[in-house]
Amino acid sequence: MDPNAVSQQCGAALILSQLGFAGSKTDDAPKEPAIAKYPGFVLKAGLMDSPHALQVQKRLNERGCGPVDEDGDFGTKTADAVRTFQAQSKDLDGNALTIDGEVGAITWAALFGKDSVLEIKPKEAANELLREVLKVAKSQLGVTEKPPGSNAGPEVEAYLKSAGASKGDPWCMAFVFWCFKQAATTLNIPNPCVKTAGVHDHWNRAATAGATRISTATATANPATVAPGMVFCINTGGGKGHTGFVLSVTGGTIETIEGNTNSGQGREGIAVMKHTRKINSISLGFVDYARS
């Protein structure tokens, strides 16, 4: 075997612990950061003279996904190399990467390791109310419909009643409202959450109620905008949706607590459960009651 041969297979030369890079470059080349930390925005074709693009180009070449010029200009060849990497790699949870030629938090973590996105992980909810809300939500883990598939049972009916809904209605949003109501009662403060059992109704009225809405595009580009205690909202089509709480954030993924769900992360499930979801899968966005 030729000791000087370079493998052309993506993945052959990865050194997981290496987060910075050394090498000569011309005076005109962009100066790269010492550590490959996620910059807080999605890198895509058209980005010019970027030290972050330079780091990506170097890592792509090291992984055998090039060759691409190491010039800091994120052009079509760099995007194609990113697609090659995405097609042959997994995210930190072992799931397939989206093949889009863009480097967001999830692809960045796959390229450079989990420590490269560690700094964008909010540690806890922003205020006492949201911390109490999550405490209440955690206390309901394992609650199930009785009988399964009925959208009924003592706890489920309490969720629905609190939001003004009826027995047998979908209850994921009612669960969110009930948790807010319990937390606000404990703290003896007004409940800021919109009183509704409808996900789309909640999303549409949240800003008027004083909450902050964060779009999926904003959250995907900068996961640091998402924090524990926020409410995620998903459009599932046909005027229907699904919702729950953000429990923690790691890079481009969130851990959640959701009502009316199942082991397949579906809506109209039977229990209160924890899930892990990609931020870019939250099709409506996030609602933040921290400043309401």
At 236 the three-state DSSP class reads strand
Both ends of the chain: CA-CA distance in Å?
65
The fold for domain 128-288 equals endopeptidase fold (from Nostoc punctiforme) (3.90.1720)
Is the CB of residue 230 less than 8 Å from the CB of residue 287?
Answer: yes
| SS3 at position 138 | helix
Integer Cα distance of 161 and 96 in angstroms: 40
Distance (Å, rounded) from C-alpha 239 to C-alpha 250? 30
- Report pLDDT digits (tens) over 192-228: 999 999 999 999 999 999 999 999 989 988 888 899 9
**18-27, long-range: CB < 8 A, 24+ apart:** 19/112, 19/113, 19/115, 19/116, 21/55, 21/58, 21/59, 23/58, 23/70, 25/70
- Indicate yes or no: pTM above 0.85: no
Mean pLDDT by 10 residues, the chain (292 residues): 44 39 48 70 92 95 94 96 95 86 90 77 82 97 96 97 96 98 97 97 95 93 89 95 94 92 87 94 96 66
User: Which residue(s) pair with 237 in the sheet?
Assistant: 240
β-strand partners of 275: 256
- Identical fold for domains 1-118 and 128-288, yes or no, is no
Domain residue ranges of the chain, discontinuous segments joined by +: 1-118, 128-288
- pLDDT tens per residue across span 167-184: 999 999 999 999 999 999
Which overall architecture, per CATH, does domain 1-118 show? Orthogonal Bundle (1.10)
Share of the chain above pLDDT 90, in %: 68
